Each structure stands twice: as structure tokens, then as C-alpha cells.
Amino acid sequence: MTWRRLLILGGTADAAELAGVAIARYRHRMTVISSLAGRTEIPGDIPGQVRVGGFGGVEGLVKYLRAEKIDFVIDATHPFAAAMSRHAALACAQAGVPRLALQRPDWPLTAGERRIAVPDMAGAAAKLRELGARRVFVTSGAKDLAALADLTEAWLLVRLIEPPAEPPPLAHYALIFARGPFTEVAEHGLMEEHGIDALLTKDSGGEATYGKVIAARDLGIPVVIIGRPASDVTNAVDNIEAALDWLEGLLKADG
């Protein structure tokens, strides 16, 4: 049996879970390496080997795949990490390494939700102003918060994974720090406690952060939702079991 090396492009709860399951299932035949961009100081709990930092574009990733003798790549990055996914598709094609994308399913739309789609953070700021939002729960991450700087009429409750290097350029705000998953009950309580009247989120999908969408619906709060970047990445599945099936198929060829 040939020893194999799997690279998981991570930075998500799904990627960490996949690493754990792959190690549990294939510990006698495979090394599992998770790759992080290094956006947070302290990564979450990730089983197996972890490497941190960009590869240096497509060319750098091709070099890495060859140098590290990677046999398979699963791109389990966040749906908004479009550059990394594009690089992974191109580099794996060049290096002849089989690649699969693990893409989270969209959040199902349930009756009574008030979802308002916007293309980006600037669109979100315009929509929140139009809605007359006064107390906004901001869960769109640390990037591009400057786009909300002109929302001077509103108070923003901004949830991040960890403290930012610089204070965000916002008029009235509070920061809270937490790493998902978040339950619907806790999200409901948090929004109620802070008198939130609008939720801002990316269309991240998946279960770990779905609770806030349902909590907002139950509280009658509009959800301003930033659409996912366009993706032309092929060979994708939307759940961990299907990703493991793909691996299993490749390993069968080893005998």
C-alpha cells in the first residue's frame, strides 16, 4: 500500500472537521496536512499537521505540491476565499494532483425570513442606511469594515474571532470576540440583549453560523446578506461524507 499525503486548504470549521475524520479513517495510510492563510493569531483546534501562510500564488502552490509530494488536495476554504480556490484549481491542474472542492451548501430560505441580498460591503452600508437600522449585528468579518464608517446614525455590534490589529474606523460600535459554531438560542439571546434591529452577514452557508439567520427571522429582524463571489471551480461536493467518498475512490486505486 502506498503512503499518501492529503493537503486540506482550510481556515473553516468544515476543514478542521474533515481533517479529524480523514485522520481517524486513514491514519494507517495517509498524512493529513491542513493549510491556513494565517489570518488569525491563534488557529482553532486542527487535528494533524498544520502549515501556515500563503504559498506565493499558483506558481508557489505548484512548487509546494511537488516539494511536499502531495497526492490529493481538498479545498475546504470559505466560500469567500475565491482567490485561494482559483489558485488551487490551476495549481493542481498544472501539477497533476487530484483536487476536490468542499463547498458549503447555501442556507435554506425559510418562511418569514427578511433576507436582503447586496453585492458587497458598500452595498450593505447603503441598504442598512435605507432600512434606517440603528443597532446592527455585524458578522461579516474583519475585512472591509471601513465600508461601514459612514453609518454614523447606527451602533454596530461587531463580532470577530480575535481583536483586530487596529481599531475599526467606525463611529459607534462595540467589539465582541468568539469563534463559531454558534447556536440559534445563543444568537437569539445576544441579539435580544443588545436590541439589535438588523443583521449583516456574508452568505457563508453551512451549519456553524446558520443560527443567527433563524434567530433574526424569529425576532423579525432583516438580514442584509452579502452574496458569494462568482466561482467557476469544478469538481465540488457540499458535504464531508462526499469528500471522503472521493478520497476513498482514489485510495481504492492503490489497492
Nearer to ligand NAP, 139 or 155 (CB): 139
Q: How far is the CB of 154 from ligand NAP (least distance, A)?
A: 22
> What is the spatial distance between Cα 126 and Cα 114, in angstroms, rounded to a whole number?
17
Residue 205 binds ligand NAP (CB under 6 A): no
Q: How far apart are CA 69 and CA 56, in angstroms?
A: 17
Residue from 104, 159, 202, 212 touching ligand NAP (CB under 6 A): that is 202
Of the candidates 36, 65, 190, 191, which one interacts with ligand NAP according to CB under 6 A?
A: 36
DSSP labels for 31-51?
EEEEEE---SSS-----SEEE
Q: What is the rounded distance in angstroms from the CA atom of residue 37 to the CA atom of residue 11?
A: 7
Closer to ligand NAP at the Cβ: 107 or 155? 107
Phi, psi angle pair for 242, to nearest 5°: -65, -35
CA 159, CA 105: separation in Å to the nearest integer? 23
Q: How far is the CB of 83 from ligand NAP (least distance, A)?
A: 3
8 or 154: CB nearest ligand NAP:
8
Minimum gap (Å) between residue 162 Cβ and ligand NAP: 12
**Cβ proximity of 94 and 66 under 8 Å:** no
If one asks whether residue 182 binds ligand NAP (CB under 6 A), the answer comes out as: no
Please list the residues that pair with 49 across neighbouring strands.
33
* Residues engaged in binding ligand NAP (CB under 6 A): 9-12, 35-37, 39, 54-57, 60-61, 77-78, 80-84, 87, 141, 202
